[in-house]
Amino acid sequence: MVRSWLGRQERWGMWRPWEEGAAGGERCRLSASTVQRWLGRAGQKAQESVAGHLQGLESSGQFGSDGLWARLRGGGKRVVLTPDWIRGDRVSGLVWGLVVAVGEESAAEWQKLFERAKEAGLLWEKLNGLTSDGAQGLLAYLRQALEWVHHQRCVWHFWRSLGAEMGRAVAKAAQGLSKEVAEAARQLAREELTALLHAVIDAPSYEQAEQAPD
C-alpha cells in the first residue's frame, strides 16, 4: 500500500482509475522485507513502552479484517493477516496484532490471528461484528470458534468482485454498434446496472432489497 501511494502505481490504478498512468518519474521499489524491518523495530519500541498503559481501554466489539499480499525475494508470496488493516478496533484505535501466513483460505491461519489478538488482550466474548472481503478461511473459522460474531461482507470488495461481470454486460450491450453509438450504449448500460445494484446493496432493509427491480 505504501509503495502504491508513493509511486502512484499498482493499487493506485484501482483507487484512482482516472489518474492511472498519469504519474511520471521513477517507480517506487519499496520491498516487503523493508516493511518487515519497520514492523520489527515498531515491536521493539512497543516492548520498551510503559507496562499496562493500555489496561482498561474498552473494545467496541466491531472489527474489520483483511489480508495484504506481498511478493518476497526468491519468488515466494505471503499474506499479512490483520484486524482492520492495521487499524485494529476502529472506535478505540487499538491494534490487535499481525500474522504472516501462506494464504487466506485456511481456517488454521485465521486461528493464529485471533489467538495472537487474544494474547494481546482482546476478549473474544466481546466480539460482536466483523467486516471482511469474504475469505473462505475466515468464514470457516468464525463458524468453528466464534459462531456468535455477526459477519458482513465489505461493500468495497463486493463492488470490486462485480467489476468483471459488469464489464462483460456493458460490452455485450455495445456489440455490433458503431464507435459513437457503442460508447453511448456502454455508458447507458453502466448507469442502469449501477442503479439496479445500488437499489439492492444500499437498500435500507431486506424487504426493500427484495422488492428492487430485477
Contact of 96 with 88, CB cutoff 8 Å: yes
pLDDT by residue (tens digit) across 25-81?
678 888 877 877 887 788 778 777 777 766 666 667 777 787 777 777 777 777 777
Contact of 60 with 89, CB cutoff 8 Å: yes
- Residue 201 has a CB neighbour count (10 Å cut-off) of 14
Greatest alpha-carbon pair distance for the chain in Å reads 70
pLDDT by residue (tens digit) across 142-199?
999 999 999 888 877 777 778 778 888 888 888 888 888 888 888 888 888 888 888 8
* CA-angle at 15, arms to 14 and 20, nearest 5°: 65
